[in-house]
Every structure is written in structure tokens, then in C-alpha cells.
Amino acid sequence: MWKHSLEFELLPSYLNLQTHLHQLAQDFKDIPMLAKTHGQPASPTRLGKEVMVFVERLENQIRLFSYIPVAAKFGGATGNFNAHHVAYPKTDWIKFGNHFVEEVLGLQRMQFTTQIEHYDNLAAHFDCIKRINTILLDLCRDIWTYISMEYFKQQTKAGEVGSSAMPHKVNPIDFENAEGNIGVANAMLEHLSAKLPVSRLQRDLTDSTVLRNIGVPVAHTIIAIKSIEKGLSKLVLNEQALKADLDNNWAVVAEAIQTILRREKYPNPYEALKELTRGKDGITKQSLHKFITSLKVSAEVKAELKQITPHNYTGVVAKY
């Protein structure tokens, strides 16, 4: 049952969401965006690349998820083929068990067990699902924040309530619903992965009642994924807001100017830029270009420095 839930219901949902995100990354590939580290303006990035961060993280964890083998126990009541061996002592039960479990069923037979399979691999599946869900939680909070920054607007639908009290609002409820469902799922997955591998001596029955609940976190996870898909489908890029943020933060190109000045062996470039930019709100294109003009460097270097803007200082990343 749990193998079916994980491999035939949950995994395809993860893969579909990853594909959707990859398409968004392609759509936003050339959109420059002000990065925020510690909540403060930082070296510009591109929106598509920031989406690709989540695509890569999901891809890595989904791959790990698929690597985890599905283990099985086949060895009689307490794992020693007691009844099998006493009834048919000439049969090679180890060989038979290995062939049946691994060749016929396609599972991994644990060679030394108690009355139950160890559940260690099942716990590994749950831990991997938690990691994937945590990535999705991170995605939800980032998209939620981008919406609050008005980098995204949301498509409205006739008859849909944007806010119960304030008609002008369209709340990011899909990402909030996903975050809540992920929280419930991960709390249960944490208990499953911590509890199931622990069984007194050769077996107790605490695993039985717990195993009945595997479908619950899977269901909450699938609901969360559907909410994320719905939320992503409603996003409308607000390029004007992204552009305005970049235009208002010319100080972020100080890193670029400093680095080129170091290349040119200019004395104390960090200190020169810090004096210009740190703790000041009024750094503009004009004030920055005035500073560049005052530098004792060649005209060619000055021209190079003046070509740098918050919109084109976005670096390079791998192809996607």
C-alpha cells in the first residue's frame, strides 16, 4: 500500500510540479531582479535563475528518493526460516528467499531480521519526502514574498473571493494553504520515520497502528502540491515593479565597480566605494557616474564602469 502511495501517486505529483517550475524558469529567464540577502538589496539576479534554484533542489531530492530501495522481510516468524527449514531441510531457503523477493518481486530482501522488516528504508523515504516538502515550503514563502513585493500579481476569477473583508485584495491563499498542509504532512512524516524503525526485541505491535496512517501525510502533500500548482497558474509578472526596484538601487553595482578597480590595481577601492555608498539612501545613476568620472583611471575603464547598471549586472549561470 505505502509503495503504491509513494511511487504511483506522490512521485508523479512532484515531477509534474518540477516540470511546471522549469517552464516558469524558461519564461522568466531574461527578467533581471534585485536580489535580497538578509532582506537587504544585493547583487542583481534573474528571476528565471531563482526559480531554477528550486528546480535543481527538487531534481536532486527526487533522484535520491528514487534511489532508495524498497526493502522486504521474508524469513519466517522471527527471521530464521524455522518452520520452513524443519519441514524441508534440504531446500536452500536463503537462496529461495533471495530469488523470490529480489528477482520475482523486485524488492531488496533484508538478510537478518526480527519478525518485521527494519523499516529503515521506509524511514529514509519519509525523510526524503520531508526534504522535498521543505523545499516546497521554501518556494511557497518566496513566492508569497514576491507577491507582497508586487513582483507578481494574481489573476482573478469571477466569483472568487480575494479577501473576506477587503474587496481590493487578492490574497496568496494557495501558497498559504500549501504551507499549512506541508506542515501537517512533515509533522506526521517526522513521527513515522522516528517511530517505525524502533521495535522492542523481536517485535512489538506499535508499528501496526502507525502504518495505517501513511496515507495521511501523502494526502496532505498531494493537496499542497495541487495548491502550489493552482497558485503558480494565477501568477502575473509585474515587470514594472521589478524594474523600479532595480532603478532605486544603483548602490548594488558598487561591487562590480570595486572589482574592476581591483583588476586595475586602483588603491583602496573598497574604502572608496564604501565611503560613497554605505549608509546612504541617495545613490543614483548620476551620483555614481560622477564618482566614476572623478577616479584616476583611463577613459576606457571609466567607459566600462559606466556601462554597468543594476539591470545588466546579473552575471552568468549554467544553461537551463
Cell of 92: 536452500
CB 24, CB 51: distance < 8 Å: yes
Task: For residues 252 and 153, give the distance between their C-alpha atoms in angstroms, rounded to a whole number.
Answer: 26
**Backbone conformation region of residue 71, classed left if phi is above 0, alpha if psi is from -120 to 50, else beta:** beta
Q: Which of 4, 99, 148, 163 is catalytic?
A: 163
Task: For residues 135 and 56, give the distance between their C-alpha atoms in angstroms, rounded to a whole number.
Answer: 10
Sign of CA dihedral 62, 66, 69, 71: positive
Would you call 38 a catalytic residue per the annotation?
yes
Q: Tell me the pairing of strands 71-72 and 108-109.
A: parallel
Would you call 43 a catalytic residue per the annotation?
no
Q: Tell me the pairing of strands 152-154 and 235-237.
A: antiparallel
Q: Which of 38, 164, 168, 208 is catalytic?
A: 38
- Residue 25, classed as helix, strand or coil, is helix
How far from chain centre, in Å, is Cα 305? 36
What amino acid positions are annotated as catalytic residues?
A: 38, 163
